Structure 1
């Protein structure tokens, strides 16, 4: 466990993380500015775009739209009668919070920027304290450096809900690691109405409960803790399905939410009509290897199997990952299983992997300056690659954030 930290010590930590985060945001700002300058008329930003256009690009437009127009009571449909893309795919908390914060500035974009960048700093600070429960101060700081400068760090400055969701997630994981379950009754609904994915947290709590049960002789497991874990798992599961039920109630269509999500999948594969667990990744492996890259589809299945087995092996056996603690490993496994069950692999997969950010701690464990400097260099290079492709170009199927 982390040793007790004085108020002055907590202040110094907050300042140190703040300086790291501010430096990282300067780098990201430069990247976004350059990407906007490089954007042409054939790109999503368009010619003559500014950095403000990057803040409100892509899904940010959907968050802005739902903050102004709300959710449709009648689902829009395509010419062929299928349910079209609509606001039900996006949770409300970030959109409306950005609207409230932006009121003094007369701009939703300003509110979205403030919420994202502030939540990103808070998430960085919580991530430090979360990792500090298992790692030393220097290693935890380096993990935050990788997080703040990471390939997807531009999300801390655009109108996406990721920063806010990471804050709730890191706080929830910290609470579980400290066995402070009370706050989870608030954090779980906040996660559920910020971004999809709280069902992964329900699975995590189930696995965590089993782990606590089997090791109860080493760490006593009181009846009260059992009740908390079970109740919170049920709350996470109920919260995960609540949005689907709400969409069905408002629109009068039982499958409104799933049909809305599948509307985006039709941009990749036509004729998609139903959802089945695992189907997205299996179909995606065939699509990318067979249709897009003109390779034998069996290579896609083999690659998928290798990636799944490799991820499992890393979480089970890699010493640097094991140092992070069972809670982080169980969360990572749960979230990967969730993605495997529900997601269709495409360019947004990079963004959807961001909730695995506590694993940056494993990259920070090796104490070699060469290693840490190399990881940081790759983070910055990866960040530019992502910003350049998604914002400067953004004109191909694999250039959607």
Structure 2
């Protein structure tokens, strides 16, 4: 009787083991990635719904908005304007004659796709925007596994995907922002780069550069990649056909880095239309001025030193130490496991941020393209470490939504 009662249990356990082994088989990696992604979206959606339920009246919605309305606030409203009406031919001006905030700060890739879905399905922007973002973020998660598996074992690559999906800013993957589409295109670009498929990069770079500012940073990464391959050509062949393709992709990315500036200039008649528009967003912090490369972080230090009432030299020391520590980290053993190409991208993008962006609450979102570093965080095999890291990520989601997405009275911490 006892033996008979144990048989079904043993059979069931064997069945579960066989099913698990089948699901986790190398050729079925996508099932696990989709499961990780789905679990992460349940968590993030729950957090967003809770914050929506306690959201008060704000410039974009009434109190306690539904999910889709809550998902299109902040810059989502700009994408809504672009999807419906396009871009202004005349730049709006403030009373003092400076260029005011306007749609030219936002590139057309994402709103164009949303508008296409709206036309195809008759859905409104709020719903179509979320659908597009979720679809691209799932695609990014699937591609990210493929990228990580080029440099890491399958299990570590999967945990890298988990970090990506549960990351503190992963709420941005399911709202009406361009980040999901951009991260998908960036991941595809990195995959083609690592596979040495340079010609395949061209159409991806073209769309990516018109989705989020990225052409110049990717051109720098490609240029450094060409230099590196030339440097090691004696131990890793760098055939002439690949040299031509790689240099062509680099030059194309460089051109695309300026494409939106030129488009805005032609459409408005102002050569500085795009940069003037971007500078309008930092004017509340430091006033109006010219775009001077690498000056914004010094200006930011001056602003935050006054705001926090701390010595300026302290923030400058912290800034320099942070930058040095970051670039030193790229040469550590965990970072080196990611390979040269991913580290060249992360370094190039970091330099791009230092050159052109002003540090404020949106900076956290602007760090998202450095997501390949999740592979370094995924290396420790300890289950306790991994569980605590995911718990910290979820806690970080709550903190970021509270700080940057949820609107609290007069809110000056945009996501």
Q: TM-score, normalised by structure 2?
A: 0.91
CA deviation after TM superposition for structure 1 residue 110, in Å: 1.5
Q: How do 1:141-152 residues align onto structure 2 when only pairs under 5 Å count?
A: 141-152=158-169
Q: Give the one of 370, 373, 376 matched to 2:384.
A: 370
1:300 equivalenced with 2:286 (yes/no): no
CA distance in 2, matches of 1:121, 1:71: 29
**CA RMSD across the alignment:** 1.6
Answer whether contact 1:44 1:395 (CA < 8 A) is retained: no
1:348 is aligned to: 362
Q: How many residues align?
A: 392
CA deviation after TM superposition for structure 1 residue 266, in Å: 0.7
1:109 is aligned to: 126
| Structure showing greater Rg | 2
1:64 equivalenced with 2:75 (yes/no): no
CA distance in 1, matches of 2:301, 2:233: 41
Residues 186-239 of structure 1 deviation map (CA, whole Å, 9 limit, x = unaligned): 111011111112210000011111111111111101111111111111100100
SS of corresponding position for 1:267? helix
1:168 is aligned to: 185
Answer whether contact 2:72 2:126 (CA < 8 A) is retained: yes
Q: Give the one of 67, 75, 81 matched to 2:91.
A: 75
Structure 1 residue runs of 4 or more that deviate by more than 6 Å after TM superposition: none
1:188 equivalenced with 2:205 (yes/no): yes
SS of corresponding position for 1:72? coil
Answer whether contact 2:68 2:130 (CA < 8 A) is retained: no
SS of corresponding position for 1:182? helix
Q: Give the one of 200, 221, 230 matched to 2:247.
A: 230
1:212 is aligned to: 229
Q: How do 1:2-401 residues align onto structure 2 when only pairs under 5 Å count?
A: 12-41=28-57, 45-103=61-119, 104-270=121-287, 272-289=288-305, 291-316=306-331, 318-395=332-409, 399-401=413-415
Structure 1 spans left out of the alignment, 5+ residues: 1-7
Structure 2 spans left out of the alignment, 5+ residues: 1-23
CA distance in 1, matches of 2:102, 2:27: 44
Q: TM-score, normalised by structure 1?
A: 0.95
CA deviation after TM superposition for structure 1 residue 350, in Å: 0.5
Answer whether contact 2:296 2:355 (CA < 8 A) is retained: yes
2:8 is aligned to: none
CA deviation after TM superposition for structure 1 residue 389, in Å: 2.2
SS of corresponding position for 1:20? helix
1:4 is aligned to: none
